[in-house]
Amino acid sequence: MTLKERISDIFEKYSVELAVEEKEEPKEVAFATAVLESGQEIQTDADAFAVGVSAFVVNDEGERIPLPDGDYKLQDGSMLVVAEGAVAEMKEAEAEVEAEEEKEEEMKAEEVTEEVQASSEVLTREAVEGMIAEAIEATKKEFSSQIEERDAKITELSKQATPSIPRAPKMEAPVSVDLKSLSIQERVAAIHNQFSK
């Protein structure tokens, strides 16, 4: 019996039915963006850039980096003065440029709404089973790679282990000599040979 079949049996046993819940439309995150004259996009957590709001850039990894202190000219002609990562002063541009920006922001908001609506799709039972199976396979691969790494470390450490201490050379057992059968000189030589080893 495959894993999918087991999961299906469990769902049937406990009368679990997968259904797509109608979700409310996601709320749009309230943050403003602006483009510097150089083309770099900057952002703030507030609804719009204003004195006192934080200003930052977002790098490729999604990290928020505070905007360094200084004067920044935006593409619309307005100026931002940033001090300690926050907008200290704003100098407005012409009113026509602001109207164009508002239209662009509205168009972006409409595009985001359309993308959110297009991305919501109905999941079937087979799709959910497939997702579960993929997750289980990914977990198995992760654990097997961890086991292989552990085994490699054990092998490496066993190679690095200190060699065992060599044993002392074996001493020969003294040869027992019947001293009674030897002459005095032979007895002295035999005793001397036993202690000199």
Same domain, 61 and 87: yes
Residue 176 lies in a domain: no
Residue 118 lies in a domain: no
**pLDDT at position 147:** 92
Same domain, 36 and 90: yes
Identify the burial level of 42 via C-beta atoms within 10 angstroms of its C-beta, where 0-12 means exposed, 13-18 middle and 19 or more buried: buried
Task: Count up the domains in the chain and report the number.
Answer: 2
Same domain, 82 and 133: no
Residue 113 lies in a domain: no
**pLDDT at position 98:** 61
Same domain, 13 and 41: no
**pLDDT at position 39:** 85
Same domain, 80 and 36: yes
Residue 136 lies in a domain: yes
Same domain, 37 and 79: yes
178: left (phi over 0), alpha (psi -120 to 50) or beta: beta
How many residues are recorded in the chain?
Answer: 197
Residue 57 lies in a domain: yes
Same domain, 11 and 62: no
**pLDDT at position 113:** 65
Same domain, 14 and 50: no
Neighbouring residues of 5: CB distance < 8 A, sequence distance ≥ 6: none
Residue 165 lies in a domain: no
The span from the first CA to the last CA of the chain, in angstroms, equals 76
Same domain, 88 and 56: yes
Residue 141 lies in a domain: yes
Residues 4-55 have pLDDT tens digits of 888 888 878 877 776 667 666 655 556 788 888 888 888 888 888 888 888 8
**pLDDT at position 121:** 62
Residue 11 lies in a domain: yes
Same domain, 45 and 87: yes
Please give the full DSSP string across 137-176, using - where no structure is assigned.
HHHHHHHHHHHHHHHHHHHHHHHHSPPPPPPPPPPPPPPP
Same domain, 41 and 13: no
Closest CA to 93 of 106, 84, 102: 102
Closest CA to 29 of 146, 141, 113, 127: 113
Nearest-angstrom CA–CA distance, 72 and 52: 15
User: Residue 133 sits in which domain range?
Assistant: 3-18+123-150
Ranges of the chain whose pLDDT falls below 70 = 18-20, 22-30, 93-99, 112-122, 162-175, 177, 197
pTM flag (> 0.85): no
Same domain, 85 and 61: yes
